[in-house]
Amino acid sequence: MRDISRQATIERLRQDPAPDVLVIGAGINGAAVFRDLALNGVRVVLADRGDIAEGASSALSRMVHGGLRYLETAELDLVREGATERNRLLRNAPHLVAPLRTIVPLYDRLGGTLAAIGRLFRRPSKSGRRGAVLVRIGLALYDWLGRHERTMPRHRMLGRQAALAAMPGLTPDITAAAEYWDGWVSHPERINLELVLDALAAAPQAEALTYMAADGPDAEGVVLRDALTGETLRLAPRIVVNAAGAWIDRVNAPLGINRRMIGGTKGSHLVIDHDGLREALGGAMLYFEAPDGRTCIVFPFLGQVLLGTTDIRVEDADVVRCEEAEVDYLLAVLREVLPAVAVGRENIRFRYSGVRPLPYVDSATPGMIPRTHRLVASEATAGRPFPVLSMVSGKWTTFRSFGEEAADEVLRRLGRARRTGTAGLPIGGGAGFPDDRAAWCAEVAGETGVPRPRIEALMARYGTRARDAARAIAAGPDAPLAALPDHSTAEIAWIARQEMVTRLADVILRRTLVALQGDAGEEAVREVAGVLAGALGWSAARRAEEEAATLALLRERHGAGYPLKATRPVSAIS
């Protein structure tokens, strides 16, 4: 494969600075349109001011869903689209997306009906809890809207005893529950990355750059500023796609587009390490209403538990973090629904927060802001010789269809025909995913000499890309990390060299789940930095700078400082 390092990419773009399309923002929506255009032969450049998936696309609830609650605001097309994309993701990314059994606790039969009718007509209403009748109607509709390409069971209603048996920790106040199936994604940052890597591998005319911020226009095009060196790179695209999420308005303003498009709301999550809580969930997600009517989720997450979320209007997406009041709120709503489980701040391993890039509306109630995505075109002007297509809103789940919609519009404007589609296209390590995982792992173990339990652990992380990781490990030298014994030096070096790594935080926070799982203690951070320094040729000063920046980020944005687990059980590395 050609050299996709930043330096090589910048040099190529200096030689040839006139792509057809510049996509600004490498969150999930930017990556999706980038992949689609690249596979259709378009000369496209993707640029992010930070890392891939550094914005909302690493801050989600990790649900892959149609959005049951959007039925109440009659966003039926969005629900249908989300449920269909969920079904496709289960097939196209089986290494990271899986079915999720979900329980909705119910407290009466008819509750919430009037409030739901109010919401249907977009009248903000403080709801009582939704009763069994309303939820049953909603789930029947949800099943019907999600029937295309479906592989999961349909919903069923559970009586009180059956509900308490299904989820042993539920409050005895319930009268019944509903059970239905959705999807969840363990590592969305990795899917985001894989879309970019797949495009770069398949399309030699596509280029991607991280830590390169769109910094306004010049006479012919767009100025990109290198966040590491401050140097500029000028590109003259025929079309710009603005996929900057919560920052869309900020990217548009210097391009002379002053229409307000984004009205973001912040949401925060906690990762909790508590065996009692995990067991009380009985392997399912609890999708429940807080007493204030907000919908919250809690589900088992890679040996721990994920709890979310809040919904708070914010003006500046740069400064969000999970505040203490949000922690209080989330722990309180958890206590309401699972009263026998005593979870406290000492059980929190990690917190994260992000801004939903919702469309700007003048609504006082965040829950009432429409979730539907749309592409907003701003035509070329005398001072800006290219049109800008802004990708406003869009759930993570619908990235493929939104990317397709934006790509169709770009192809139309370029006068090109679509050559290929993405609906049935596997993503990254989902390609060639075997029915018989055990046989596949045995084969790769035989080929590389890496022990089979290790291959199984690699496959759980990287899908079929585990074969490449195993080859790198076999080529050695390799040793388990002392502070992260289920990761090894050759594995981290492979990530560093193959996965567009620029900074230490890229690996700690996004290429791996080390931080999310509460394992990013100081020793682990310094050890990973040592491996990256070797693989990427960092000086001692650069290494120290990266360590300090990552530790500060973990402390200030993610609540590190709460007790981190000493070590995880030594698993697959022998």
Ligand X SMILES: Cc1cc2nc3c(=O)[nH]c(=O)nc-3n(C[C@H](O)[C@H](O)[C@H](O)COP(=O)(O)OP(=O)(O)OC[C@H]3O[C@@H](n4cnc5c(N)ncnc54)[C@H](O)[C@@H]3O)c2cc1C
89, 134, 208, 244: which one binds ligand X (CB under 6 A): 244
Helix (H) / strand (E) element for 99: namely strand 97-106
50 touches ligand X by CB under 6 A: yes
Among 35, 48, 80, 27, which Cα is nearest to 404's?
A: 35
Least separation in angstroms between CB 267 and ligand X: 2
CA distances (Å), origin 469, targets 71, 440, 456:
43, 14, 12
Three-state DSSP state, 158? strand
Q: Using CB under 6 A, which of the segments 71-79, 115-123, 252-260, 395-403 binds ligand X?
A: 395-403
Distance linking the first and last C-alpha atoms of the chain: 32
20, 36, 54, 499: which one binds ligand X (CB under 6 A): 54
Q: Which neighbouring-strand residues pair with 99?
A: 183
Mention every residue, 6+ apart, whose C-beta is less than 8 A from residue 156.
178, 179, 180
Query: Over 492-516, what HEC string results?
Result: HHHHHHHCCCCCHHHHHHHHCCCCC
CA distances (Å), origin 279, targets 160, 282, 284:
19, 5, 10
Mention every residue, 6+ apart, whose C-beta is less than 8 A from residue 275.
none
406 touches ligand X by CB under 6 A: no
247 touches ligand X by CB under 6 A: yes
Mention every residue, 6+ apart, whose C-beta is less than 8 A from residue 365.
124
Give the torsion through C-alpha atoms of 46, 50, 52, 54, to 10 deg: -140
9, 40, 57, 401: which one binds ligand X (CB under 6 A): 57
19, 55, 112, 146: which one binds ligand X (CB under 6 A): 55
102 touches ligand X by CB under 6 A: no
22, 23, 44, 59: which one binds ligand X (CB under 6 A): 59
Least separation in angstroms between CB 574 and ligand X: 36
Q: Using CB under 6 A, which of the segments 50-58, 73-81, 505-513, 526-534 binds ligand X?
A: 50-58
Least separation in angstroms between CB 397 and ligand X: 4
Q: For residues 198 and 385, give the distance between their C-alpha atoms in angstroms, rounded to a whole number.
A: 31
Q: For residues 299 and 129, give the distance between their C-alpha atoms in angstroms, rounded to a whole number.
A: 20
Q: Using CB under 6 A, which of the segments 49-57, 437-445, 467-475, 501-509 binds ligand X?
A: 49-57
Least separation in angstroms between CB 215 and ligand X: 7
395 touches ligand X by CB under 6 A: yes
Query: What's the one-letter identity of residue 255?
Result: L
Q: Which neighbouring-strand residues pair with 160?
A: none
396 touches ligand X by CB under 6 A: yes
CA distances (Å), origin 437, targets 89, 99, 187, 251, 428:
18, 17, 19, 45, 16
Least separation in angstroms between CB 194 and ligand X: 15
Number of residues that bind ligand X (CB under 6 A): 38
Using CB under 6 A as the criterion, what x/- string covers residues 354-383 for binding ligand X? xxxx--------------------------
Q: Which residue is nearest to ligand X (CB)?
A: 27
Using CB under 6 A as the criterion, what x/- string covers residues 184-223 for binding ligand X? -----------------------------xx---------
Least separation in angstroms between CB 65 and ligand X: 6
Least separation in angstroms between CB 338 and ligand X: 20
Instruction: Identify the DSSP state of 181.
Output: E
Residue closer to ligand X, measured from CB, 45 or 504: 45
Beta strands in 328-373 (DSSP E): 348-356
26 touches ligand X by CB under 6 A: yes
267, 359, 429, 463: which one binds ligand X (CB under 6 A): 267
558 touches ligand X by CB under 6 A: no
Least separation in angstroms between CB 302 and ligand X: 16
251 touches ligand X by CB under 6 A: yes
246 touches ligand X by CB under 6 A: yes
Q: For residues 57 and 175, give the distance between their C-alpha atoms in angstroms, rounded to a whole number.
A: 37
25: left (phi over 0), alpha (psi -120 to 50) or beta: left
Residue closer to ligand X, measured from CB, 26 or 410: 26
Three-state DSSP state, 323? coil
Mention every residue, 6+ apart, whose C-beta is less than 8 A from residue 294.
310, 311, 333, 367
285 touches ligand X by CB under 6 A: no
Residue closer to ligand X, measured from CB, 56 or 176: 56
Using CB under 6 A as the criterion, what x/- string covers residues 316-355 for binding ligand X? --------------------------------------xx
Tokens (6 digits) for 308: 């979310």
Least separation in angstroms between CB 283 and ligand X: 19
4, 63, 196, 459: which one binds ligand X (CB under 6 A): 63
295 touches ligand X by CB under 6 A: no
Least separation in angstroms between CB 439 and ligand X: 33
Q: For residues 216 and 152, give the distance between their C-alpha atoms in angstroms, rounded to a whole number.
A: 47
CA distances (Å), origin 67, targets 26, 76, 155, 182, 490:
24, 10, 15, 9, 40
Residue closer to ligand X, measured from CB, 30 or 169: 30
47 touches ligand X by CB under 6 A: yes
Tokens (6 digits) for 157: 């209603």
Instruction: Identify the DSSP state of 255.
Output: G
Residues engaged in binding ligand X (CB under 6 A): 24-30, 47-50, 54-57, 59-63, 213-214, 243-247, 251, 267, 309, 354-357, 394-397
